[in-house]
Amino acid sequence: MRAAVSAKPPRPGLTLHLTSHRFTRQLHLPPALAATLFGAGPLLLLGCLALGGYFMFRDDMLASLMRRQANMQFAYEDRIATLRAQVDALASRQMLNQDTFEGKVAQLAVRQAELESRSALLASLAARVDPDVTAVAATRPAAPEAASAASVLTLAPKPSVANEGFKPVPEGLELRSTDGGAAGPGLSQNDDPASPDQRLKTLASSFDRVERRQIGMLNALEAPAAEKAERLREAFAEAGLPVERMVRHGGSGGGSGAAEGVGGPFVPADLPGAHGDFARAYASLSRTIDLMDDLRGALPFAPLRQPLPGQIEVTSPFGYRVDPFLGRPALHTGMDLHGEYGEAVHATAAGRVTVAGPTGGYGNMVEIDHGAGLSTRYGHLSRIDVAAGQWVTEGQDIGAIGSTGRSTGPHLHYEVRMDGAPVDPSRYLKAGRMLSASQ
């Protein structure tokens, strides 16, 4: 007897059978899920169709959306253009700062060269005032200052253009400088003592100190130069020499060989520092030194030296006296100086020999023309060591004491003549002693 098999009741819901050649699977969906899928799907499709139809018939809304998108794009592009303009402005400012910095460096380099030229000029002026002076080391810029000037060109900041990529942001997008400040005219300055600008200021200050020392040196040189010029002027005045005439004669060299072998075209000197305190101090000192040099140049042609060495003993002064041979009043045109027979006689100034030989009552005489109307005569010589037309220097041996001509014994008859007229030689000897004592 076979048992009856009861069939299973069907499960509510939706059953999906998935069959392939290898397996068969069965997927059961509950009623609620099945209703949702098969009910919501058509509704979603219907909604999409309705929305598409709405937009199809409302193209003004689509155009508005497109305009808004375009406006946003234009806003980004405008912001990017603004930022690029700021970058260009910053780069231009940095380039301008670079040019300004390099201009300052160039000015300092020119000024350093000017100060060095002034130092050489001061050294030459000091040597003219005192020939023993060969340098003015105190007026040269210090070595560290010179080194700073030489290396300051390396301090110039390189102009850096901001070429790195940046990401635009709609809000709060600002370009900042490297020191954290906003770009533009309000950039903060770097006050670091080691910054290039500060080093330039320090270097300029050191050059100012050097210039002040140089001006002080000019002022310090003027006093001794004026003192020496005044001593020479007083000596010329004491001797009764016409200073202007002697200066012109001494400046021309008096025909001496000392002025030979020089020349060339005249090129005016472009002196450093043509304006300002240095120029005024230099002009004042130059005038004083020029006067001193002119007087010094005339000094070798002024008969201010002694014709005999040692202490001078005058046996007969210049002026009226009783003639030793005739016993009558006569004008003694020179002065008689005692000396040993054969003692050397020296030229009292530089000049050219015009007479060298027997000359009447002078006996053996030497006459020297010193220029500017000045001449000297040396009479009664026992020996003559020069010849007519020969150039002699001050202090050079021209002969020896004797007793030739109208002479009562060995002595030197010494005369000084101005424009051919005899003048008192003692004034010249006194001026020479005064000048020697002051030096």
286 and 335: one domain? no
Cβ burial of 340 (10 Å; 0-12, 13-18, 19+) is exposed
The tokens describing 316, both together, are 């007969």
- Average pLDDT estimate for 306-320: 93
pLDDT of residue 364: 96
335 and 288: one domain? no
Alpha carbons 260 and 84: distance in angstroms, whole number: 74
* CATH assignment at residue 348: 2.70.70.10
Q: Is residue 59 included in any domain, yes or no?
A: no
Are the C-beta atoms of 260 and 322 separated by less than 8 Å? no
Query: If phi over 0 gives left and psi between -120 and 50 gives alpha, with beta otherwise, what is residue 308?
Result: beta
Neighbouring residues of 334: CB distance < 8 A, sequence distance ≥ 6: 318, 377, 379, 413, 414, 415, 416, 422, 425
Q: Give 267's pLDDT tier (boundaries 50, 70, 90).
A: low
Alpha carbons 252 and 187: distance in angstroms, whole number: 67
- Average pLDDT estimate for 311-336: 90
Q: Give 215's pLDDT tier (boundaries 50, 70, 90).
A: confident
Q: Kindly report the pTM of this predicted structure.
A: 0.57
Q: Tell me the C-alpha to C-alpha distance, in Å, between residue 399 and each of 304, 350, 409, 428.
A: 19, 15, 17, 21
221 and 357: one domain? no
140 and 280: one domain? yes
Q: Is residue 229 included in any domain, yes or no?
A: yes
Q: Is residue 171 included in any domain, yes or no?
A: no
Q: Could you tell me which residue, 258 or 17, shows the higher pLDDT?
A: 17
324 and 371: one domain? yes
101 and 231: one domain? yes
Q: Is the pLDDT of residue 39 over 80?
A: no
What residues make up the domain containing 297? 96-155+194-255+276-302
Q: Is residue 30 included in any domain, yes or no?
A: no
Q: Is residue 174 included in any domain, yes or no?
A: no
298 and 325: one domain? no
Q: How far, in whole angstroms, is CA 138 from its chain's centroid?
A: 15
293 and 348: one domain? no
Q: What is the mean pLDDT of the chain?
A: 77
Q: Could you tell me which residue, 170 or 79, shows the higher pLDDT?
A: 79
214 and 341: one domain? no
How many domains is the chain partitioned into structurally? Answer: 2
The amino acid at residue 108 is L
